[in-house]
Amino acid sequence: MPRLGLGVYKMEDGKEVVEAVKSAIELGYRHIDTASFYGNEEGVGKAIKESDIPREDLFITTKVWNDEQGYENTLEAFDRSLNKLGLDYIDLYLIHWPVPGKFTDTWKALEKLYKDGKVKAIGVSNFLPHHLEELMKDAEITPMVNQIELHPELHQQQTREFCAANGIQVEAWSPLAKGKYFDAPVLKELAEKYEKTPAQIILRWDFQNDIVAIPKSTNKDRQQQNADIFDFELTEEEIKRIDELNLDEKGRTGPHPDEFDY
C-alpha cells in the first residue's frame, strides 16, 4: 500500500476531481482515496482511464457508506462503486463508519468480496478498539487497515496500539487537520529548519510513525508539496516536540465514532 495517497473528499464530480486526480498521477501519486459518499467515483474512474498508468500500478480505495450497510446491501453497493469507477477490482474497500447493529454483517460481505478476488484488501474506517473487538469476535479475516482521523493534535493512541497489536495498518484522514494549525510554532520552526512547509512537517511525522496519509488537495503545487517529504528526516526529539501538540479528544475536527448521527 503506497504510504501517501490523494484524498478526494469534497472534490466535485466532473472537471474538478478529474483534473485533480490526473495531476496527482502525473506527479507520481499512485494511491487515491474516494468513497461512495463523496459522489465523485465516476470522475476518479475517468481520470484513471485517461492516465497512461497501468491499472496494477494504482492503488484505489473506496468505501461503503452508512445507508448501504448490511450483507446484501453492501454487495450491491460494491457493484455500484465498481461500475462508477469503471474498474474490475478495488485495491482497498473500507466500511466507512461503524454503524451499530450493521457493521458485522457488512464485514461478512467484505470478506466475501475479498475471497471472490474483487478486492485486494479489506478494512474499516473510524473504528475504535471496542468496534474492532466486536467485529473480530466472529470475523474470519482481520481488517487490514483502519482509516481514522489522525494528526498531531489528535493522536488516537489507544486505537493505534490496538491496531499495531493486531497487524492492522493505520491510515490518517484529515492528516493536515485541514490546515487548522499550520501556524503552530513547532511546525513553523521545523519548516524553517528543513526548508519545508508545516504541511510537509506533519506528513513526515506520519511517515516516521508508520501512518499512511491521504492529504487532499486540488492544487497541483500543494499536491507536489505534500508528496515531497522523502528527502529529510525529523529527529526523535523533534517528533516528541510535535507529539506535544496532542489534545486527544479536543483535537478532533470531525465526529466521534460513538456520537455520529447514524
Ligand X SMILES: NC(=O)c1ccc[n+]([C@@H]2O[C@H](COP(=O)([O-])OP(=O)(O)OC[C@H]3O[C@@H](n4cnc5c(N)ncnc54)[C@H](OP(=O)(O)O)[C@@H]3O)[C@@H](O)[C@H]2O)c1
Active site positions, annotated? 38
* Helix, strand and coil percent figures for the chain, each rounded to 5: 45, 15, 40
Burial class (CB in 10 A: 0-12, 13-18, 19+), 137: exposed
Shortest separation between residue 75's beta carbon and ligand X, angstroms:
21
Nearest-angstrom CA–CA distance, 75 and 236:
45
**Window 192-231: contact mask with ligand X (x via CB under 6 A):** -----x-x--------------xxxxxx--x--xx-----
Residue 125 binds ligand X, judged by CB under 6 A = yes
User: What number of other Cβ atoms are within 10 A of residue 88's Cβ?
Assistant: 9
Spatial neighbors of 240 by CB under 8 A, at least 6 apart, are none
Residue 145 binds ligand X, judged by CB under 6 A = no
Pick from 64, 176, 201, 212 the residue near ligand X by CB under 6 A.
Answer: 176
51: which DSSP letter? S
Strand order in the sheet with 212-213: 6-7, 31-33, 59-64, 90-95, 119-125, 145-149, 169-173, 212-213
| Residue nearest ligand X, CB atom distance | 7
User: What number of other Cβ atoms are within 10 A of residue 151's Cβ?
Assistant: 28
Residue 157 binds ligand X, judged by CB under 6 A = no
**Window 74-113: contact mask with ligand X (x via CB under 6 A):** ----------------------x-----------------
Nearest-angstrom CA–CA distance, 62 and 96:
9
Pick from 29, 107, 173, 205 the residue near ligand X by CB under 6 A.
Answer: 173
162 closest CA partner among 136, 194, 191, 190: 136
Shortest separation between residue 174's beta carbon and ligand X, angstroms:
4
Cβ closest to ligand X, residue 104 vs residue 126: 126
Cβ closest to ligand X, residue 104 vs residue 218: 218
Binders of ligand X in range 38-67 (CB under 6 A): none
Number of chain positions touching ligand X (CB under 6 A)? 27
Segments of the chain assigned E as strands: 6-7, 31-33, 59-64, 90-95, 119-125, 145-149, 169-173, 212-213
Cβ closest to ligand X, residue 129 vs residue 254: 254
Contact call for residues 61 and 33 (beta carbons, < 8 A) = yes
Cβ closest to ligand X, residue 168 vs residue 199: 199
Cβ closest to ligand X, residue 75 vs residue 176: 176
Q: Which stretch binds ligand X (CB under 6 A): 7-15, 67-75, 101-109, 162-170?
A: 7-15
Note the residues at the interface with ligand X (CB under 6 A). Answer: 7-9, 33, 96, 125-126, 147, 173-179, 197, 199, 214-219, 222, 225-226, 254
